[in-house]
Amino acid sequence: MHLRTPRMNSALSHFSLRVSGDPEAMTRGLYGVGVALSPRAERALLDWIPVNSRLCAVRLSSSIKLNASRHKKRCLFVVSAYAPTECSSDVEKDTFYRELSGLIRQAKSTDIVIIAGDLNAQVGRLSSLESHLGGRFGVDARRTDNGDRLLQLCADHELFLASTNFQHKRSHRVTWRPPTANQPWTQLDHVAISYRWRA
């Protein structure tokens, strides 16, 4: 499904939204993922890959500035993901990560892979032995099963959790605030990028 925002006088009206999932379920606010593309990104679009209500990807033509006078063509392979929650069944989680892994394998070896989304994963604070998987600034002290699965995906596909790499105030790093005051704020949304491009 490809939606265009109504023409209005705002900058947002120029973006197009590509969504993946069951249209009927999405109208009820259930599931569905998407990617918003600026006119420039829309022109750079090489491939749109809607997988299901939890996964989609776009492949965009791009170039990387090597120095003041040299650029190198590279494609961005951007995945939008919505993982099952921590209390979901192992079967549902296994299916999601198997499909996500298969989607990542569709990227070309020269593509810069970026995964962004609600991954429902607490990865904790990574140890020095895990520094190739992410930074030192994860929000949570504990790691959940979904966190283990996300880190394993990063290891399998040479991805780096950029969402843990920057030292910001805790309140700027949390992505979920529970409805009750006695539960801690946490970071469930993440961005990962091909390890080579982590800086």
CA angle 67, 70, 76 (to 5 degrees): 90
| Spans of all domains in the chain | 52-197
Position with higher pLDDT, 24 vs 177: 24
The pLDDT value given to residue 9: 46
Q: Which of 43-47, 58-62, 123-127, 163-167 has the lowest mean pLDDT?
A: 163-167
The whole-number pLDDT of residue 48 equals: 96
Burial label, 74 (beta-carbon count in 10 A; 0-12, 13-18, 19+): middle
Residue 21 sits at φ, ψ, to 5 deg, of: 140, -175
How far apart CA 74 and CA 92 sit, in angstroms, is 34
| Residue 191 bridge partners (DSSP) | 116
Determine the CATH number of domain 52-197: 3.60.10.10
pLDDT tops 90 at residue 124: no
- Please give the mean pLDDT across all residues of the chain: 82
- 14 C-beta neighbours (distance < 10 Å), count: 15
pLDDT at 130: 73
* pTM to 2 decimal places: 0.81
